Chains A and B, each alone.
Chain A
Amino acid sequence: MLEHVVNGLVLGGTYALVAMGLTIQYGIARIMNLSFGDTIIAACFATYVLFTSLSISPILALLILVPSGYALSNVVYRVIMKPLVARAPDEGALEVDSILVTFGLLFVIQGILLYLFGGGYTSYSFFNTPINVLGTVVAGNRLLALVLSLMIGAALVIILFRTRWGMILRAVALAPKSAPLFGIDTDRAARTAFAIGGAIAATGGVVISMFQTFTATAGVVFTMKALIVVILGGKGSVPGAIVAGLLLGLVETFVAAYVDPGLTLAAVYTVFLLLLLVRPNGIFGKA
Chain B
Amino acid sequence: MLELKNMTVRYGKHLAVDAVGFGLTKGEVVVVLGANGAGKSSMLKAIAGMIPVADGSVTLDGDLLTGVPAHQVTNRGIALVPEGRGVVGRMTVEENLRLGATPSRARASEDETIAQVFDIFPRLAERRRQFVHTMSGGEQQMVAVGRAMMSKPDFLLLDEPSLGLAPIVVGDLFKALARVRETGVGLLIVEQNVKISLRHADRGYLLEAGRITGSGTSEELMNDAAVRHAFLGGDI
A interface residue numbers (CB < 8 A to B)? 164, 167-168, 170-171, 174-175, 177-186, 286
Contact = CB atoms under 8 A, between A and B. Distances in A.
Interface string B72-96: 0011000110100011111100010
22 contacts: A168-B102, A170-B91, A171-B88, A174-B88, A174-B90, A174-B91, A175-B86, A175-B87, A175-B89, A178-B87, A180-B69, A180-B70, A180-B71, A182-B71, A182-B74, A182-B99, A182-B100, A182-B102, A182-B151, A183-B75, A183-B100, A184-B102
Contacts of A170: 91
B185 to A, nearest CB: 16
B98 A180 contact: no
B232 interface: no
A174 B119 CA distance: 28
Contacts of A179: 71
B211 interface: no
Contacts of A177: 86
A183 B103 contact: yes
A164 B74 contact: no
A186 B102 CA distance: 12
Interface in B1-51: 48-50
A167 B70 contact: no
Contact of B86 (A164, A178, A186): A178
Contacts of B151: 182-183
Contact of A183 (B74, B86, B87, B91): B74
Q: Most B CB atoms within 10 A — which of A170, A179, A181, A286?
A: A181
Given A181-B48, A181-B82, A183-B74, A174 B69 contact: no
B106 interface: yes
B129 to A, nearest CB: 14
B32 to A, nearest CB: 19
A181 B74 contact: yes
Interface of B: 48-50, 69-71, 74-75, 79-80, 82, 86-91, 95, 98-100, 102-103, 106, 147-148, 151
A171 B71 contact: no
B89 A184 contact: no
A170 B147 CA distance: 16
A20 to B, nearest CB: 19
B97 to A, nearest CB: 10
A167 B99 contact: yes
A286 B88 CA distance: 14
Contact of A180 (B50, B88, B99, B100): B50
B152 to A, nearest CB: 10
A185 B99 CA distance: 12
A143 to B, nearest CB: 37
A180 B80 CA distance: 10
Contacts of A183: 71, 74-75, 100, 102-103, 106, 151
A168 B98 CA distance: 10
Contact of A171 (B48, B75, B91): B91
Nearest to A170: B91
Contacts of B82: 178, 181
A3 to B, nearest CB: 40
Nearest to A178: B86
Contacts of B90: 174, 286
Q: Most B CB atoms within 10 A — which of A171, A175, A180, A182?
A: A182
Contacts of A182: 71, 74, 99-100, 102, 147, 151
Contacts of A171: 88, 91, 99
Contacts of B99: 167-168, 171, 182, 184
A181 B80 contact: yes
B53 to A, nearest CB: 16
- Across the A-B interface, the 4 shortest Cβ-Cβ residue pairs: A183-B103, A180-B70, A178-B86, A183-B74
A184 B69 CA distance: 10
Nearest to A177: B86
A181 B79 contact: yes
A175 B74 contact: no
A181 B91 contact: no
